[in-house]
Amino acid sequence: MSSLRLPFAAQLFLASLAVYAVPTGPGLVFDGTQPWAVPGKTLDLSPTTFTFATWARVTDNKESQVFLNRGGAPEQTGLYLYKDKVRMLVEYAPGKYTFAGAALPKPEVWTHYAGSYDGTTIRVYRDGKQEAAVKAPGSLAPSTTDLFVGSLNDFERFLLGQLDDIRIWNRALSAAEVAAAMAGETGGELDRDLVARWTADSLDGDTMASLAPGRLVAAKVKKGSVLINEKAAGFNGIWYYNQKIPNEYVYKYSGGLGTYCAKHIPMAWYAPAVNKTFFVYGGTDPENRTLLHLVSYYDHATGMVARPTLLLDKKTDDAHDNPVINIDDDGYLWIFSSSHGTGRPSYISRSVKPYSIDEFELVWTGNFSYPQPWFMSGKGFLFLHTYYKGGRGLNMTTSVDGANWTERRLLSHIEEGQYQVSWRWQDKVGTAFNMHPKGKGLNWRTNLYYMETKDFGDTWQNAAGQTLELPILAADNPALVAEFQSKGRNVYMKDISYDAQGNPVILVVTSNGYESGPQNDPRTWTTARWTGTEWVLREGFHSDNNYDTGPLYIESDSTWRIIGPTQPGPQPYNPGGEIAMWLTEDAGANWHMVRQMTANSEFNHTYVRRPVNAQPDFYGFWADGHGRQPSKSRLYYCNQAGDVFQLPEAMDTDFAKARLMNGPEEK
């Protein structure tokens, strides 16, 4: 190995002449369900300099798959296939990461990949040649996290194919050394700082032993069970932020987002057969490190809440992965667990017993975002959702049994996509949506559209009954309710409801831009009502952030109610604030605040959610959290009169009373 001490230019020349030692056997076989894991405490991986290398043969190069990974996504480090590259990713500073990418392998062709980090630069190699180098000055945080081989963790992004001659070094190899490893060379300088090496020949029963003597043994692990089905310690929501901005408000949006977002519908459902409102939310562990999906219920007969069941750990802290809930004709609870984009799996789970939160079973695994399922009595599920493919496209699928679904059907993809809110009225499901103009990015969203179906998604009409040609792709189309683009107004979707005749009423907030702060005022709560012959738009009142969110209750054709964080909170101009109740008795022409429901709060309250079949004593629920820095987050519900109750943060009994926050106890 003396050639490895040659000048760098000479090393590159030798690397260009690299000899291929293509595996001749099947290698380590991965069937798409079974990874290997290296216990983190036995893996002495350097936080500063290291190299991963492996031969890989994949069955399909279009699916996201992982060769070697340590940490969540995207955390710590990993060598993996995603979209159009094989990436070497490094979290070079807390919360900061980047990657260098190489060309994809051809299906069923052995290809050698290596990725290195020297504390300054990430490099990635394909077949012994460097294909990319990206600056990333820093150091990986020390960790005892397990290393996974052939998956992201024990339950997702499994490799379907083979790996062979997997090696890890605690130093950044030179280009010539990478070429030598690809050629199958061992010993001498090439083994310096070698942490582990695995080949198909190193398999021994259910273990994969390192060929570096005395280094470590990697235990083969079974596919992890997705569902946890344990009782939680109490009601604690997740804190989350999205996009830092260069002003005093710190984030585009942030806070206690356990009931986020407005495009996750529904998060609560009243079941008259048992007189209970079942609800889901996004919780977390004491360190706010991961998103937990939890389910509970309010018993209207006793006025007590059930100790929540911890359904699953989503293995991310992204509140876009929050769950939603449905209840079928037989009383079974269905939890749809979302994913933000295509990098993580989504799940559908069903309660083992009707009207019970004690245990759930996994029914379906796949991918969807912003879930809005609607169980239609006697028919099954009409599932509206977003699927990430060239932007945010609005899609639908249906199922009779919740396990077998029709092929995904695109309903609308206007320019760069859109967001939607939907609701069910009798046998009708309607959806209202905006659009992202091409070339302006996702922070620019405008216009307002509406369409509905009365035949379980077979055909879709606008409010006037005109059948639409799908998918909708143009900004100017028959589903258009109101044009805001020429006015320079952003449109944020909040809710949709129906009057007694089944006419839709849409609630949006409009603003002058995406950033938090007074420069984008006014944030105007606006309704769009279909009268039966035309759309009538009326501006109502104002709040101080685009992501202030609350539901619209249509209590009669003229009496409507909104409960939302419209009053300035302890972190003004950040999402949420103090909760207020607004009422109109003339179909949105005039609004007046009938009650401020919270005051002198420690944190902003935000994302008030409306149950399906909402009952007066559990009319809405939400979470709180600090608007500008990580904090704990509590959960609340209110009644129709505006009394607010905090759900218990700690529970050691099966049922408990919530604490009244703004009634006689506080006077």
| Percentage, residues of the chain above pLDDT 90 | 77
Q: Is 582 helix (H, G, I), strand (E, B) or coil?
A: strand
Examine the pLDDT at 262 and tell me if it is beyond 80.
yes
Q: Are 348 and 336 in contact (CB under 8 A)?
A: yes
- Residue 75 is predicted with a pLDDT of 78
Question: 334 is in which domain, residue-wise?
Answer: 227-666
| Of the candidates 281, 351, 286, the residue with the CA atom closest to the CA atom of residue 314 | 281
> Do 606 and 646 lie in a common domain?
yes
Mean pLDDT of 167-193: 94
- Residue 33 is predicted with a pLDDT of 65
Apex 93 CA angle, 89 and 99, nearest 5: 20
> Do 279 and 203 lie in a common domain?
no
Q: Is 4 helix (H, G, I), strand (E, B) or coil?
A: helix
- Residue 648 is predicted with a pLDDT of 98
Examine the pLDDT at 19 and tell me if it is beyond 70.
no
> In this structure, which amino acid lies at residue 107?
P
Per-residue burial over 253-262, b = 16 or more CB atoms within 10 Å of its CB, e = otherwise: bbbbbbbbbb
> Do 289 and 365 lie in a common domain?
yes
> Do 215 and 238 lie in a common domain?
no
> Do 232 and 202 lie in a common domain?
no
Model pTM score: 0.74
- Residue 18 is predicted with a pLDDT of 56
Mean pLDDT of 56-76: 87
Examine the pLDDT at 631 and tell me if it is beyond 70.
yes
Examine the pLDDT at 271 and tell me if it is beyond 50.
yes
- Residue 666 is predicted with a pLDDT of 37
Cis bond before residue 261 (omega within 30° of 0): yes
| Of the candidates 396, 260, 280, the residue with the CA atom closest to the CA atom of residue 335 | 280
- Residue 511 is predicted with a pLDDT of 98
- The DSSP secondary structure of 483-515, one letter per residue, reads --GGGT-EEEEEEEEE-TT--EEEEEEEES-SS
Q: For the domain that residue 550 is a member of, what is the CATH number?
A: 2.130.10.10
Examine the pLDDT at 213 and tell me if it is beyond 80.
no
Q: For the domain that residue 91 is a member of, what is the CATH number?
A: 2.60.120.200
Examine the pLDDT at 74 and tell me if it is beyond 90.
no
**Boundary residue ending a domain (159, 185, 220):** 220
Examine the pLDDT at 42 and tell me if it is beyond 50.
yes
- Residue 204 is predicted with a pLDDT of 47
- Report pLDDT digits (tens) over 540-583: 999 999 999 999 999 999 999 999 999 999 999 999 999 999 99
> Do 194 and 235 lie in a common domain?
no
- Residue 148 is predicted with a pLDDT of 86
- Residue 34 is predicted with a pLDDT of 63
Task: Name the DSSP class of 517.
Answer: S
Rounded Cα distance between 133 and 534, Å, is 58
* Least confident span in 66-80, 202-216, 316-330: 202-216
**Boundary residue ending a domain (156, 191, 220):** 220
**Boundary residue ending a domain (220, 238, 264):** 220
Mean pLDDT of 77-86: 93
Number of domains in the chain: 2
- Residue 212 is predicted with a pLDDT of 47
Residue 144's pLDDT band (cuts 50, 70, 90): confident
Rounded Cα distance between 444 and 436, Å, is 6
Residue 145's pLDDT band (cuts 50, 70, 90): confident
> Do 202 and 258 lie in a common domain?
no
- The DSSP secondary structure of 179-245, one letter per residue, reads HHHHTT--SGGGGTTEEEEE-GGGEETTEEE-SSTTS-EEEE-PPPPSEEEEE-SS--BPEEEEEE-
- The DSSP secondary structure of 325-387, one letter per residue, reads EEE-TT--EEEEE--SSSSS-EEEEEESSTT--S-EEEEEEE--EEEEEEEETTTEEEEEEEE
Mean pLDDT of the chain: 91
Examine the pLDDT at 1 and tell me if it is beyond 50.
no
Examine the pLDDT at 492 and tell me if it is beyond 90.
yes
| Of the candidates 415, 412, 323, the residue with the CA atom closest to the CA atom of residue 372 | 323
Examine the pLDDT at 221 and tell me if it is beyond 80.
no
Q: Are 659 and 646 in contact (CB under 8 A)?
A: yes
Examine the pLDDT at 664 and tell me if it is beyond 70.
no
Rounded Cα distance between 156 and 146, Å, is 15
Task: Name the DSSP class of 2.
Answer: G
Q: How far is CA 193 from CA 161, 168, 197, in A?
A: 28, 9, 11
- Residue 38 is predicted with a pLDDT of 74
> Do 107 and 184 lie in a common domain?
yes
What is the residue whose two structure tokens read 């009931």?
259
* Least confident span in 96-100, 214-218, 520-524, 556-560: 214-218
- Residue 108 makes CB contacts below 8 A (sequence gap 6+) with 57, 58, 59
Q: How far is CA 225 from CA 154, 156, 361, 633, in A?
A: 9, 11, 10, 28
Examine the pLDDT at 452 and tell me if it is beyond 50.
yes
CA-only gyration radius of the chain, Å: 27
- Report pLDDT digits (tens) over 273-286: 999 999 999 999 99
Mean pLDDT of 642-661: 97
Rounded Cα distance between 664 and 667, Å, is 5
Residue 202's pLDDT band (cuts 50, 70, 90): low
Residue 140's pLDDT band (cuts 50, 70, 90): confident
Give the 3-state secondary structure of 105-169: CCCCCCEEEEEEECCCEEEEEECCEEEEEEECCCCCCCCCCCEEECCCCCCCCCCEEEEEEEEEE
- Report pLDDT digits (tens) over 292-337: 999 999 999 999 999 999 999 998 999 999 999 999 999 999 999 9
> Do 266 and 204 lie in a common domain?
no
| Of the candidates 253, 302, 256, 255, the residue with the CA atom closest to the CA atom of residue 276 | 302
> Do 197 and 282 lie in a common domain?
no
> Do 171 and 258 lie in a common domain?
no
- Residue 155 is predicted with a pLDDT of 67
Residue 15's pLDDT band (cuts 50, 70, 90): very low
- Residue 4 is predicted with a pLDDT of 44
> Do 187 and 283 lie in a common domain?
no
What number of CA atoms fall less than 13 Å from residue 334's CA on the CB side? 24
Examine the pLDDT at 369 and tell me if it is beyond 60.
yes
Rounded Cα distance between 379 and 278, Å, is 22
β-pair type (644-646, 147-149) = unpaired
Mean pLDDT of 260-267: 98
The DSSP element (H or E) to which 389 belongs, if any, is none
| Percentage, residues of the chain above pLDDT 70 | 91
